[in-house]
Amino acid sequence: MAKKPSQNPADMAKAAGKLAELKARILFLLGALIVFRVGTYIPVPGVDPVALKDFFDQQSGNLLGLFNMFSGGALSRFGLFALGIMPYISSSIIMQMASHIVPSLQQLRKEGEQGRRQIVKYTRWGTVALASFQSVAAASWLQSQAGLVVNPGPGFLITACITLVTGTMFLMWLGEQITERGIGNGISMIILAGIVAGMPAAVAGTAELVRNGEMSPATAIVMLIGGIAAIVFVVYMERAQRRITVNYARRQQGRKMFAAQSTHLPFKINMSGVIPPIFASSILMFPATIAQFFGQAAGGEANAFQRFLQTLGANLGPGQPIYVLLYAALIIFFCFFYTALMYNSKDTADSLKKAGAFLPGIRPGAHTAEYIDKVLTRLTFWGAIYIAGVCLLPELVRMFNPSIPFSFGGTSLLILVVVTMDFMSQLQAHAMSQQYEGMMQKANLRNYGKGGQVR
């Protein structure tokens, strides 16, 4: 009877090293997120924090409220990371779209790693440009508001711009370090940390409303159940796939003959992720915010143009019928636009044809591309309806019952669930990689021969 082989000390040391590496990645992620949270509380010199907090308490329904959510509350404190990571995200999306439209960037995208590095370089320079523009606009507007800046003037503008741009670039670098040395996508984890940071205040605010009698306990319970149901629904839809069967013909390579094989092309229902609601929110809230800022009368009665801006800002506010309709239309548009931009069915059909693969009942080439386009159109339609439904549910409830507060909208919920699922997938991948190596080492140690005997 064969003896059970003992574990090799070298293999045990290697397994312990893998476990230590996983722990180091988790600790690095936690440390980086702590640094991010500390930075949100470091204010830009020259602002009045008390007056700024009182001002931002009234800005929950416009573009400032959206940016404040993504920055983890840093904008409401005008902290070091007040601009958050949004300039980098905007630059990345612009470069991603441009790389499919501009011929020179298309050529760079096809050059492999060298081209990717050049596109990343352009993205970083775009981040600096966007952050500089936004910092100048934010600092100029902030000092135009009475009482928010202690000593307005060129000195404050220069200091604020340098501080905000430096903070954004540091966040960009921190996100890249998390991706390389931590777990998960660094930029997504920073956004997730900013959203999660506001959850305790939202829960405490709801509990305070229940305690004061402004909200009934039954309403709070219904909101809790509805939130849990929405999370379950988002998880189910994000995992849903449409699989197209792909068959490989019998082929010969050298002296080896490979039998016919079958696999599938997986397509998610939500191919565009959280990009459509982010774009739709930014575009729709921008005119409402501009109307609110310039529609305020500086003493005295507002003129006709200011009254028009006030009416426009009121109709484009969250919970208004026009806002809900335009929000839904923009989400659906960006779902189709982004999916069509990022996925080329013709390239997929050509790759399948070159590999000797075909779809059952579909001729290779143009017919395959048309079939994939048809499937993607149907999936994108249902995916757009799903995203619009999740994002508009809080707005519809708010429209029919304005007394119910919603500190987190559908966009925050989507980001929360999608990023968490991606983090768990990568964590499981690291654990499975370690387990797989251990299984292979045991198999090599046993090395069974014929009849179950050890050689």
Assigned domain for 136 exists: yes
SS3 content of the chain, % helix, strand, coil (to 5): 70, 5, 25
Residue 330 has pLDDT above 60, yes or no: yes
Alpha-carbon span 199 to 217, nearest angstrom: 19
Domain total for the chain? 1
pLDDT at 451: 44
Assigned domain for 362 exists: no
Instruction: Check if the beta carbon of residue 390 is closer than 8 Å to that of residue 414.
Output: yes
Residue 426 vs residues 115, 185, 203, 275: alpha-carbon distances, Å: 26, 9, 29, 21
Instruction: Check if the beta carbon of residue 52 is closer than 8 Å to that of residue 64.
Output: no
Instruction: Check if the beta carbon of residue 168 is closer than 8 Å to that of residue 85.
Output: yes
pLDDT digits (tens, 9 = 90+) for 379-426: 999 999 999 888 888 777 777 766 665 556 677 888 888 888 888 888
The residue-averaged pLDDT of 194-207 equals: 80
DSSP string, 16-51: HHHHHHHHHHHHHHHHHHHHHHHHTTSBPTTB-HHH
| Residue scoring higher pLDDT (262 or 285) | 262
> Phi and psi (nearest 5°) for 272?
-100, -5
Residue 445 has pLDDT above 50, yes or no: no
Alpha-carbon span 423 to 312, nearest angstrom: 41
Torsional class of 338: left (φ above 0), alpha (ψ -120 to 50), beta (otherwise):
alpha
Bridge partners of 358, per DSSP, are 247
Q: What is the percent of the chain with per-residue pLDDT over 70, rounded to a whole number?
A: 75
Assigned domain for 235 exists: no
268, 279, 201: which is closest to 235 by C-alpha?
268
256, 393, 268: which is closest to 324 by C-alpha?
393
Alpha-carbon span 193 to 56, nearest angstrom: 20
332, 384, 350, 349: which is closest to 244 by C-alpha?
349
pLDDT at 447: 46
Bridge partners of 265, per DSSP, are 244
The residue-averaged pLDDT of 349-366 equals: 83
pLDDT digits (tens, 9 = 90+) for 158-199: 998 999 999 999 999 999 899 888 888 888 888 888 888 877
Whole domain around residue 28: which residue ranges?
A: 7-198
The residue-averaged pLDDT of 141-157 equals: 81
pLDDT at 173: 92
pLDDT digits (tens, 9 = 90+) for 264-299: 888 888 888 878 887 787 777 666 666 655 555 555
| Residue scoring higher pLDDT (429 or 400) | 429
The β-bridge relationship of strands 251-253 and 261-268 is unpaired
Assigned domain for 447 exists: no
pLDDT at 31: 92
Q: For residues 403-427, b (16+ Cβ closer than 10 Å) or e, as one string? A: ebebebbbbbbbbbbbbbebbeeee
pLDDT at 212: 84
Q: What is the average pLDDT value for the chain, to the nearest integer?
A: 78
| Residue scoring higher pLDDT (66 or 247) | 247
pLDDT at 385: 92
pLDDT at 382: 92
Edge-to-edge strand list for the sheet holding 261-268: 261-268, 241-248, 357-358
Assigned domain for 355 exists: no
pLDDT at 67: 67
> Phi and psi (nearest 5°) for 439?
-65, -40
pLDDT at 211: 84
pLDDT digits (tens, 9 = 90+) for 49-98: 777 777 776 655 555 666 666 666 777 778 888 888 888 888 887 887 78
Assigned domain for 77 exists: yes
Q: Tokens 């501080």 correspond to what residue? A: 163
| Residue scoring higher pLDDT (418 or 430) | 418
pLDDT at 317: 66
Residue 427 has pLDDT above 70, yes or no: yes
| Residue scoring higher pLDDT (427 or 288) | 427
Whichever domain contains 73, its CATH number is 1.10.3370.10
